[in-house]
């Protein structure tokens, strides 16, 4: 017979797969769920839980067990509610004043892959995201997911906007000419793709009618619905610094509206506790040969290296400076 814990976890996993981000609970449920969470985090076995009773088929008994004094152990035991009652409690709307302090579920779904270890979280993300209902129901993204690559414990995390045609074909971010420029930037920093983590705000190529090799940037809703996916990545990697490649990536990370790139480059902001440095998208280097602009981009990379604690040589400090 399934226990109450089995029913709760099964029900919550079902809601998660549907894209539900929050459920309301009453004060009786809160300590029970907290106990299960702490038990899972510590790796210990949670206390035995009362099996879910079957629906009554006869008249209730007239005798009741005398009440027992409350103890720390009994206080952790779940109430004797069946699955239907549990669902009722979980789906009870929040009080109006509580709703005012939380973002409405319809505004933004939250992707939570779950997992008891970091590796399980990565595996669950790659398994669940391609069919995650909120993104699929947008109807504006192509079906192939392009996941981040590189070192999952990197000190530096690079974030672009969305995959393009080459990325989708190869299943790798920054696969085309812009990716070649990114590789050049990394080489100048003394790094390779295996030393950093590279990803996008949106993990699916934005779709357009009769699409072939043409691309478009992700729209605001696509970025909003994908924000929690990037949050999962950032919290798993825990980089010392995040580099926003281009203005769209900057808007998605720092969330200060439709400001120009120059304004974002002047900002000091964070994403999931990591400082964010904003610079040009690598494709910009395909369009300009201006030495001063290249030097400015390189100074931003020197700043990134400094935050990450990387050594900087005199030769690196002199890149793109006028010859004397």
* Strands (E) located in 192-256: 197-200, 204-206, 241-245
**pLDDT value at position 12?**
72
Structure tokens at 221: 């809703």
* 47 CB-contact burial (10 Å; exposed 0-12 / middle 13-18 / buried 19+): middle
* Number of other residues whose CB lies within 10 A of the CB of residue 283: 18
Length of the chain counted residue by residue: 324
**pLDDT value at position 37?**
65
**pLDDT value at position 18?**
56
DSSP state of 27: T
DSSP state of 159: E
**pLDDT value at position 73?**
40
Structure tokens at 13: 């996993």
Q: The whole model's pTM is what?
A: 0.69
Per-residue pLDDT of the chain (324 residues; tens, 9 = 90+): 556 676 777 667 666 555 555 666 655 566 677 667 666 655 555 554 444 444 444 444 444 444 444 443 433 444 444 555 555 555 555 444 444 334 444 478 899 999 999 999 999 999 999 999 999 999 999 999 999 999 999 999 999 999 999 999 999 999 999 999 999 999 999 999 999 999 999 999 999 999 999 999 999 999 999 999 999 999 999 999 999 999 999 999 999 999 999 999 999 999 999 999 999 999 999 998 899 999 999 999 999 999 999 999 999 999 999 876
Give all domains of the chain, ordered by start, each with its CATH number.
1-43+79-94 (no CATH), 118-317 (3.40.470.10)
* Strands (E) located in the chain: 141-145, 149-150, 156-160, 197-200, 204-206, 241-245, 269-271, 274-279
The sheet carrying 274-279 orders its strands as: 149-150, 197-200, 156-160, 241-245, 274-279, 269-271
**pLDDT value at position 92?**
52
* Residue in the structure block whose two tokens are 């900002």: 267
Angle between helices 220-237 and 247-254 (to 10 degrees): 70
From 290, 122, 141, select the one nearest 226 (Cα to Cα).
141
Show the CA angle centred on residue 155, arms to residues 149 and 160, nearest 5°: 45
């Amino acid at each position: 017979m399934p226990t109450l814990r089995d029913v709760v976890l099964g029900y919550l996993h079902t809601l998660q797969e549907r894209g539900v981000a929050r459920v309301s609970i009453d004060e009786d449920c809160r300590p029970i769920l907290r106990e299960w969470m702490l038990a899972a985090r510590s790796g210990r076995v949670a206390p035995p839980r009362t099996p879910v009773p079957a629906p009554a088929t006869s008249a209730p008994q007239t005798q009741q067990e005398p009440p027992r004094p409350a103890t720390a152990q009994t206080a952790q035991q779940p109430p004797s509610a069946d699955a239907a009652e549990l669902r009722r409690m979980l789906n009870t709307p929040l009080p109006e004043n509580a709703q005012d302090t939380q973002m409405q579920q319809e505004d933004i779904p939250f992707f939570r892959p779950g997992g008891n270890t970091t590796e399980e979280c990565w595996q669950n993300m790659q398994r669940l995201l391609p069919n995650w209902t909120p993104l699929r129901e947008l109807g504006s993204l192509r079906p192939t997911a392009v996941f981040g690559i590189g070192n999952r414990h990197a000190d530096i995390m690079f974030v672009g906007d969305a995959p393009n045609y080459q990325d989708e074909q190869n299943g790798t971010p920054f696969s085309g000419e812009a990716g070649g420029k990114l590789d050049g930037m990394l080489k100048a920093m003394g790094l390779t793709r295996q030393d950093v983590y590279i990803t996008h705000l949106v993990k699916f190529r934005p779709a357009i009618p009769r699409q072939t090799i043409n691309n478009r940037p992700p729209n605001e809703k696509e970025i909003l619905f994908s924000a929690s996916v990037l949050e999962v990545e950032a919290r798993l990697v825990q980089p010392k610094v995040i580099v926003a490649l281009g203005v769209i990536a900057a808007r998605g990370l720092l969330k200060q509206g439709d400001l120009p790139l120059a304004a974002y480059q002047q900002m000091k902001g964070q994403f999931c506790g990591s400082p964010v440095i904003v610079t040009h998208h690598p494709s910009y280097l395909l369009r300009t040969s201006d030495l001063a602009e290249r030097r400015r981009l390189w100074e931003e990379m020197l700043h990134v290296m400094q935050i990450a604690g990387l050594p900087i040589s005199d030769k690196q400090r002199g890149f793109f400076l006028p010859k004397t």
